[in-house]
Amino acid sequence: MPARKPEITVAAITQSDGRFLVVEERINQRLVFNQPAGHVEHGESLLKAVVREVREETAWRFEPASLVGVYRWRSPESGVTTMRFAFCGSVDDHQAAQPLDHGIVRTHWLSREDLQAREQLLRSPLVLRCIEDYLGGKRHPLDSVGHLDLLTAPAIPAVAI
């Protein structure tokens, strides 16, 4: 059986007064916490995808500032491998009346300690890993990956991370 390609996703890390914007979402009848995140649509750049996902899931407008990291994770339950591009930035222009994306129950602003206390309720270990890398100062320029899309990415040579 040929290896499956990883699902390409984006995630947003934004902090205000020591708290991070997270979503509480229903996945397979289970409530979990995650950064605003989602799949990159075909032909969509990573930056456009993260801005879109944050608006759809939280009703906030996200302005990416840096790439925090690129993460590969394989779900032990489903066997699906995900390649996550995590960006940090700021939010503004909250549209409180906007309905949130399907599956999103509500948004929260939680501290790292709040998230650690909910570790068993996190969608994946990537949630805290991205927070730890962000708090550790990991930042890469947006132009290092920000304009990649699923149409042009295969033409770029693989780089070990």
pLDDT (tens digit, 9 = 90+) per residue, 141-160? 998 886 665 555 544 444 44
Domain regions of the chain by residue span: 7-152
* pLDDT value, residue 46: 93
- What is the C-alpha separation between 14 and 27, in angstroms, rounded? 22
* pLDDT value, residue 117: 97
Average pLDDT over residues 34-57: 94
pLDDT (tens digit, 9 = 90+) per residue, 127-139? 999 999 999 999 9
Average pLDDT over residues 110-129: 96
Q: What are phi and psi of 41, to 5 degrees?
A: -80, 150
Domain 7-152 falls in which CATH fold? Nucleoside Triphosphate Pyrophosphohydrolase (3.90.79)
